[in-house]
Structures are given as structure tokens and as C-alpha cells.
């Protein structure tokens, strides 16, 4: 089914999506409508245009493809499924994700992956083809964030990377770890063979979706970032 979103109020559009019995839905002329795919299950949604905030919030068992840019809070509290963005994504992408995968061909704004967490078999993953803004992985508690910097910017991610991080992993493709300005509370090292085994599936899906050569992508050096303790705030408080 194809839905023309031109001039359509976001609640009307979302009602049509949820009431549609088809397994695949194409949305044309999308222009900022919010909450598309919120809580959606067992469908494939292809969006032509720019969806508004909270695309795919609470998403579960559903694939969303965006042939354009996405605004803020894409994948907010996402449970499962996949979101593919063929442009850039705004601030707070993947906010509080609990599962599923978000693939972004271009850049991502501030606070990507803020508060993402893992639970049992659920592990959220965000893969960014370009660079990331400030506060990447802020308060990260689990899951994986990968930044590829395929456009070879001077800095793959801006300031305050993994601020307050206490779980999970961040992989950044860069030859210059010093350019990341990492906190002393973080551990960083060059990713090894075992690390690549963890992320190779996601790199493969990214390359297949966006037309990159896998061998070219993994050729560069990757820095793995993890927290230095499971309780990064201990030194800030007095024992009672």
C-alpha cells in the first residue's frame, strides 16, 4: 500500500499506517510527521521524504527505510527491528534504545545513543557511516555504537564522547585516537580480531544497505572504547 502524506496531520497518517493490513507500506511526500512507526510490529515501511521526531519509537519486529534525512529522537526506546536512514539523522538518535539496530549512512547529531542499554538477549546497535556530534554514547549502559567516518573528517566524533558511560562498547574508525579527546575515565584500545567478530555482522548489513565495500570499510583502524569501571560515579560520593 502507498500512502500520500502530503499535508496530512501526523495522527491521521499514523492511524492509517497502523490500520493498514499490508505487510509493506510506502509513504510518499513525508514532511516532518512525528511518531511514524511508533510501536509498530511485523511490517516494512519505506519513507520518501523527511520523517519528524521519534521515528520508530518503541519499534518492535519491523523494518523502516528512510530515503532522506531523519529528525531528532529516531528509535526512541526502540525494542527491536531495524531502521535504515539513507541521509543524516538528528539529535538523540537511539535515545534509551533497548534493542534493534539503527543504520545511518550519513552523520548523526548530538547525543546519539544516549542512555542505550542491554537486557538479556536484547542488545541495541547504532552504526553511523559519517561522523557524530557531541556527547556520543552519553550515559551508555549497554549495546554497541559504531562510527565509521567514511567521509574522513578530521574528527570522527566531537566532544564529550561517552560522558558518564558505564556499560557497552563504542567503536570509532580513526587513525588518530588523540583527536577523540577521550576522558581518563574511559578505556580505549585498538580493536582486535575478537572485537571485529562481534561487529562484523552489523558492518556487513551497513555495507549491503548503503553500497559500500566491506573490505574497504574494515581496512581502517578502529578504536574500541569501554568504561573503566562499572561504577563511574563512585569517586564523586562519600560512603555512608
- pLDDT at position 146: 98
- pLDDT at position 106: 98
**Strand-strand pairing, 82-85 and 101-104:** parallel
User: pTM of this prediction?
Assistant: 0.94
User: Can you give the residue ranges of every domain in the chain?
Assistant: 128-240
What's the rounded Cα separation, in Å, for the pair 78 and 58? 4
**b/e burial code for range 146-174 (CB count within 10 A of at least 16 → b):** bbbbbeeeebbbbebbbbbbbbbbbbbbb
Instruction: Average the pLDDT over 161-173 and give the result.
Output: 95
What's the rounded Cα separation, in Å, for the pair 68 and 75? 16
pLDDT band at 239 (very low <50, low <70, confident <90, very high): low
Q: How far is CA 92 from CA 17, 21, 155, 196, 199, in A?
A: 24, 31, 19, 26, 22
The CATH class of the 128-240 domain is mainly beta
What's the pLDDT tens digit per position in 7-23?
Answer: 999 999 999 999 999 99
What's the pLDDT tens digit per position in 88-116?
Answer: 999 999 999 999 999 999 999 999 999 99
Amino acid at each position: 500500500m502507498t500512502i500520500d502524506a502530503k499535508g496530512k496531520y501526523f495522527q491521521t497518517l499514523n492511524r492509517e499506517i497502523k490500520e493498514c493490513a499490508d505487510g509493506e507500506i510506502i509513504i510518499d511526500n513525508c514532511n516532518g510527521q512525528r511518531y511514524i512507526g511508533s510501536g509498530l510490529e511485523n511490517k516494512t515501511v519505506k519513507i520518501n521524504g523527511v520523517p519528524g521526531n521519534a521515528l520508530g519509537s518503541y519499534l518492535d519486529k519491523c523494518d523502516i527505510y528512510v530515503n532522506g534525512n531523519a529528525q531528532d529522537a529516531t528509535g526512541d526506546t526502540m525494542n527491536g527491528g531495524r531502521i535504515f536512514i539513507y541521509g543524516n539523522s538528528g539529535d538523540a538518535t537511539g535515545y534509551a534504545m533497548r534493542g534493534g539496530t539503527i543504520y545511518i549512512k550519513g552523520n548523526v547529531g548530538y547525543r546519539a545513543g544516549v542512555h542505550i542499554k542491554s537486557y538479556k538477549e536484547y542488545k541495541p546497535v547504532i552504526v553511523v557511516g559519517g561522523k557524530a556530534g557531541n556527547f556520543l554514547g552519553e550515559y551508555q549502559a549497554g549495546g554497541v555504537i559504531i562510527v565509521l567516518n567514511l567521509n574522513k573528517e578530521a574528527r570522527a566524533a566531537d566532544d564529550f564522547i561517552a560522558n558518564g558511560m558505564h556499560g557497552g562498547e563504542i567503536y570509532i574508525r580513526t587513525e588518530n585516537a588523540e583527536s577523540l579527546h577521550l576522558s581518563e575515565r574511559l578505556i580505549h584500545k585498538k580493536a582486535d580480531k575478537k572485537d571485529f567478530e562481534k561487529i562484523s555482522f552489523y558492518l556487513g548489513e551497513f555495507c549491503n544497505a548503503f553500497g559500500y565495500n566491506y573490505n574497504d570499510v574494515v581496512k581502517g583502524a578502529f578504536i574500541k572504547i569501554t568504561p573503566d569501571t562499572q561504577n563511574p560515579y563512585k569517586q564523586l560520593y562519600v560512603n555512608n
